[in-house]
A and B are shown apart, each in its own frame.
Chain A
Amino acid sequence: MTISRRQFVTGAALGVGGIAVGAAGATAVAASQSAEPVAGAQVEPFYGAHQSGVATPAQAYAVFAAYDLRPGVTREDAARMMRLLSDDAARLTQGRPALGDTEPELAAAASRLTVTFGFGPAFFDRLGLADQRPPWLRQLPGFEIDALEDRWSGGDLLIQVCADDPITVSHAQRMLWKDARAFVSARWRQDGFLNARGSAEPGTTPRNLLGQVDGTVNPRSPEDFDALVWSDGPPSWFAGGTMLAVRRIRMDLDRWDRVDRPDREQTIGRTLDTGAPLTGTGEFDEPDLQALGPNGFPVISDFAHIRRARPSGVLGPQFLRRGYNYDLGEDTMGVTDAGHIFTAYAADLETQFVPVQQALSDIDLLNQWTKPIGSAVFALPPGAPEGGWVGQVLLA
Chain B
Amino acid sequence: MSRTHVFRRVMLTGAALTLAAAGLAACGGSSDGALAVNDSWTKATDGPMTGSFGTVVNGTAADITVTGASSPVAGIVELHETTMVDGEMVMQPKPGGFVIPAGGSLALEPGGNHVMLMGLTGAIAPGQDVPITLTLSNGDTLTYTTVAKDFAGGNESYEPTPSMSPSMG
A and B held together in a complex: yes
Residues in B with CB closer than 8 Å to A9 are 12, 15
Tell yes or no: B84 within 8 A of A by CB. no
Taking CB as reference atom, which chain B residue is nearest A384?
B25
Q: Is the CB of B126 within 8 A of A183?
A: yes
Instruction: Decide if A173 is an interface residue (CB 8 Å cutoff).
Output: no
Residue A6 CB within 8 A of the other chain: yes
Contact in complex: B24, A87 (CB < 8 Å): yes
User: Using a CB-CB cutoff of 8 Å, which residues 282-322 of chain A contact chain B?
Assistant: none
Question: Known contacts A4-B19, A96-B19: does B127 contact A181 (CB below 8 Å)?
Answer: no
- Asked whether, in the complex, the Cβ of A84 is within 8 Å of the Cβ of B149, the reply is yes
Minimal Cβ-Cβ distance residue in A for B40: A99
| Interface size class of chain B, counting residues whose CB lies under 8 Å from the partner chain | 20 to 34
Task: Evaluate contact between A84 and B127: CB separation under 8 angstroms.
Answer: yes
Find out whether the CB atom of A87 lies under 8 angstroms from the CB atom of B15.
no
Q: How far is the CA of A91 from the CA of B41 in the complex (A)?
A: 14
Q: How far is the CA of A90 from the CA of B21 in the complex (A)?
A: 11
* Min distance, Cβ A223 to any Cβ of chain B, angstroms: 30
The CA of A345 and the CA of B12, in the complex, are separated in Å by 41
Is A83 part of the binding interface, using a Cβ–Cβ cutoff of 8 Å? yes
The smallest C-beta distance from A108 to any residue of chain B, in angstroms, reads 12
Q: How far is the CA of A309 from the CA of B127 in the complex (A)?
A: 45
Structural contact, A91 and B126, CB atoms closer than 8 A: no
Point out the residues of chain B lying under 8 angstroms from A99, CB to CB: 24, 39, 41, 147, 149
Listed in ascending order, the chain A residues whose CB lies under 8 Å from chain B are 4-6, 9, 77, 79-81, 83-84, 87, 90-91, 94, 96, 99-100, 102, 178-179, 181-183, 386-389
Pairs A–B under 8 Å by Cβ, sample size 14: A4-B19, A5-B15, A5-B19, A6-B16, A77-B127, A84-B126, A87-B25, A91-B23, A96-B23, A99-B39, A179-B150, A182-B44, A182-B125, A182-B127
Residues in chain B within 8 A of chain A (CB atoms): 12, 15-16, 19-20, 22-26, 39, 41, 43-44, 53, 110, 125-128, 147, 149-153
